Amino acid sequence: MTGAFFFILVIVFLTLIPKGILILYTWRKSKKKRLTEKKETVTRETEPKIDLYFEELRGLAMNNDPLFLKRFTEVYSDFTKRILQTHPGLLKSEMSLCAMIFLNFSSKEIAEYTFIQHRSVQTNKSRLRKKMQLASSTDLYNYIRSFI
């Protein structure tokens, strides 16, 4: 009788273990999904809202329009003032590079839209970093976005 009882007990455990694992797996997956949704909600709330002018400025930059920098300084006047207060010696070309970085263009995109080589953009970024006296570990994109 003890052998039969033990055998039934083993069978019950063997049938319950996969169900428990499945329940645990489903619970963890739903928990991870809820955390991801919560992070996305928090990120959406804390991200600066893309204003109406963002796409207009990107379009001007993509067309290498001479009005790009002028329009950028009109739209983001606070950003322009702050960056020029911190780095007063920036040239127009360097300010234009900062504006394109602010608009989150990659080096390849900047090269394509300004009709220069990708390597030249990297050199310009390096010179800008040097002029701003930034450490090599500092992310240029984050640093420029910090002036918002």
Instruction: Please write the tens of the pLDDT for every residue from 37-85.
Output: 665 554 444 444 456 778 888 888 888 888 888 998 988 888 899 999 9
What pLDDT, on a 0 to 100 scale, did the predictor assign at position 121? 92
Examine the domain organization and report whether 19 and 60 are in the same domain. Answer: no
Examine the domain organization and report whether 41 and 57 are in the same domain. Answer: no
Examine the domain organization and report whether 69 and 140 are in the same domain. Answer: yes
Mean pLDDT in the chain? 82
Q: Is 103 exposed, middle or buried (0-12, 13-18, 19+ CB in 10 A)?
A: buried
Q: What CATH number should be reported for the domain holding residue 58? A: 1.10.10
Examine the domain organization and report whether 38 and 70 are in the same domain. Answer: no
Examine the domain organization and report whether 28 and 66 are in the same domain. Answer: no
Examine the domain organization and report whether 126 and 71 are in the same domain. Answer: yes
Residue 9 has pLDDT above 60, yes or no: yes
Integer Cα distance of 42 and 37 in angstroms: 9
Residue 108 has pLDDT above 60, yes or no: yes
Q: Is 8 exposed, middle or buried (0-12, 13-18, 19+ CB in 10 A)?
A: exposed
Residue 118 has pLDDT above 80, yes or no: yes
Integer Cα distance of 76 and 130 in angstroms: 24
Examine the domain organization and report whether 73 and 1 are in the same domain. Answer: no
Neighbours of 107 (CB within 10 A): 16
Q: Which pTM was predicted?
A: 0.63
Domain assignment of residue 20, given as a range: 1-47
- In the predicted model, what is the mean pLDDT of residues 89-116? 90
Integer Cα distance of 7 and 18 in angstroms: 18
Integer Cα distance of 73 and 84 in angstroms: 11
Examine the domain organization and report whether 93 and 110 are in the same domain. Answer: yes
